[in-house]
């Protein structure tokens, strides 16, 4: 398609759009595209690494659930997304670390454009190489930014418009010498890290913020909770304050991009990579490769 211009300043990338696979960073929106202008964009993210694609089916299904919540159209079925993603993954080296990103967006709106037209929903599947970071540990602080409530933002969907807030939180943390940060909800409870769900350990018990409608309870989060409980660990979902994390024995994250990763500093307090984190990571890797 001659009107699809692919830039080359990216890692190896394949995108399925308008019935065909295109190599590179394909231009898929214009200045009149409602999604580009007014942020009616949904996505999900799965991973391929070491020859496995854990929970790829759940990520495909969650995109369609996001569409239903956000009121875009789920144009493809869960099974169609999954089959297409498997075809795309085979375009890369079998051992490549990949990010698998299906997307929906509104092409058109009504009147001034603020209200999008669900019937104009378009879609693509973008897959590209991006490495898994080594789990060496990171430093975290408390962000001044907070997670929105369901009355103020579409928090029940994996919507692109939610992410600038977290991006600003990361910028703030990095300017203060940290890698990441904990965000609170509007009541003052810890919700998540700026780019992942979070766990803490105290006296051998694993704690994680209880889902309360202000953050996505992630697919990897659910998997880690299930694996730990299945291995005999006690995992408690409850409201947590920043003070709880300041006194934790271990802190680690779960998320699609790096799966299970440790924190080794909170504020000026150094922390060791602990046994519960190592257990969680091994359980997850064993699960991923068993499939």
DSSP secondary structure of 16-67: EETTEEEESEE----TT-HHHHH--EEE--EEEBTTB-TTHHHHHHHHHHHH
* One domain for residues 272 and 169: yes
Is residue 7 pLDDT above 70, yes or no? no
* One domain for residues 254 and 161: yes
Residues 145-165, mean pLDDT to the nearest whole number: 97
Find, among 133, 157, 129, 167, the residue nearest to 72 by Cα. 157
Q: Per residue in 14-51, pLDDT tens?
A: 999 999 999 999 999 999 999 999 999 999 999 999 99
94: in domain? yes
The larger pLDDT score, comparing residue 49 to residue 5, is at 49
* One domain for residues 114 and 165: no
Spatial distance between the Cα atoms of 151 and 190, rounded to a whole number of angstroms: 19
* One domain for residues 111 and 93: yes
The domain boundary residue, chosen from 109, 129, 149:
129
pLDDT at 1: 39
The domain boundary residue, chosen from 129, 155, 185:
129
Find out whether 54 and 291 touch, Cβ atoms under 8 Å: yes
* One domain for residues 79 and 150: no
69: in domain? yes
103: in domain? yes
Spatial distance between the Cα atoms of 28 and 225, rounded to a whole number of angstroms: 37
157: in domain? yes
* One domain for residues 79 and 168: no
* One domain for residues 125 and 199: no
pLDDT at 5: 57
Q: Per residue in 209-262, pLDDT tens?
A: 999 999 999 999 999 999 999 999 999 999 999 999 999 999 999 999 999 999
* One domain for residues 286 and 148: yes
pLDDT at 186: 96
List b or e across 142-173, with b for residues whose CB sees 16 or more CB atoms inside 10 angstroms.
bbebbbbeeeeebbebbbebbeebbeebbebb
pLDDT at 111: 79
pLDDT at 112: 77
Find out whether 97 and 48 touch, Cβ atoms under 8 Å: yes
49: in domain? yes
Spatial distance between the Cα atoms of 272 and 263, rounded to a whole number of angstroms: 8
1: in domain? no
Task: Kindly report the average pLDDT of the chain as a whole number.
Answer: 95
Containing H/E element for 116? strand 115-116
User: Residue 8 — very low, low, confident or very high, per pLDDT cuts 50/70/90?
Assistant: low
Residues 78-95, mean pLDDT to the nearest whole number: 97
117 DSSP assignment: -
The bridge status of strand 138-146 relative to strand 180-184 is parallel
Find out whether 22 and 14 touch, Cβ atoms under 8 Å: yes
* One domain for residues 165 and 53: no
The domain boundary residue, chosen from 97, 129, 161:
129
Q: Per residue in 186-195, pLDDT tens?
A: 999 999 999 9
Is residue 2 pLDDT above 50, yes or no? no
* One domain for residues 122 and 212: no
% of residues, the chain, pLDDT over 90: 95
State which residues form the domain around 123.
6-129
Q: At 155, give phi and psi (nearest 5°).
A: -70, -15
Q: CA–CA distance from 135 to each of 97, 167, 257, 274 (Å)?
A: 15, 21, 12, 12
Question: What CATH number is attached to the domain comprising 250?
Answer: 3.20.10.10
Rounded to two decimals, the pTM is 0.94
* One domain for residues 85 and 169: no
If one counts the domains in the chain, the total is: 2
* One domain for residues 152 and 211: yes
Question: What CATH number is attached to the domain comprising 83?
Answer: 3.30.470.10
């Amino acid at each position: 398609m001659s009107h699809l211009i692919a830039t080359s300043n990216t890692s190896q990338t394949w995108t399925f759009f308008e019935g065909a696979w295109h190599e590179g960073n394909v231009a898929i929106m214009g200045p009149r595209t409602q999604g580009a202008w007014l942020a009616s964009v949904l996505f999900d993210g799965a991973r391929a690494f070491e020859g496995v694609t854990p929970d790829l089916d759940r990520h495909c299904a969650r995109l369609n659930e996001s569409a239903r919540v956000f009121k875009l159209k789920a144009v493809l079925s869960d099974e169609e997304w999954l089959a297409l993603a498997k075809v795309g993954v085979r375009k890369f080296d079998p051992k490549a670390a990949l990010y698998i990103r299906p997307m929906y967006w509104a092409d058109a709106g009504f009147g001034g454009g603020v209200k999008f037209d669900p019937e104009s929903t378009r879609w693509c599947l973008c897959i590209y190489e991006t490495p898994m970071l080594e789990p060496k540990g990171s430093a975290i602080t408390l962000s001044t930014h907070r997670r929105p409530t369901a009355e103020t933002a579409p928090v029940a969907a994996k919507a692109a418009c939610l992410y600038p807030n977290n991006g600003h939180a990361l910028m703030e943390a990095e300017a203060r010498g940290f890698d990441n940060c904990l965000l609170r909800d509007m009541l003052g409870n810890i919700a998540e890290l700026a780019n992942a769900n979070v766990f803490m350990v105290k006296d051998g018990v694993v704690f994680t913020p209880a889902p309360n409608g202000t953050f996505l309870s992630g697919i990897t989060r659910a998997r880690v909770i299930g694996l730990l409980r299945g291995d005999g660990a006690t995992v408690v979902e409850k409201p947590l304050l920043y003070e709880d994390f300041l006194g934790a024995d271990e802190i680690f994250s779960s998320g699609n991009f790096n799966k299970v990763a440790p924190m080794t500093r909170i504020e000026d307090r150094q922390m060791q990579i602990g046994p519960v984190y190592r257990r969680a990571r091994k359980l997850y890797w064993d699960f991923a490769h068993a499939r």
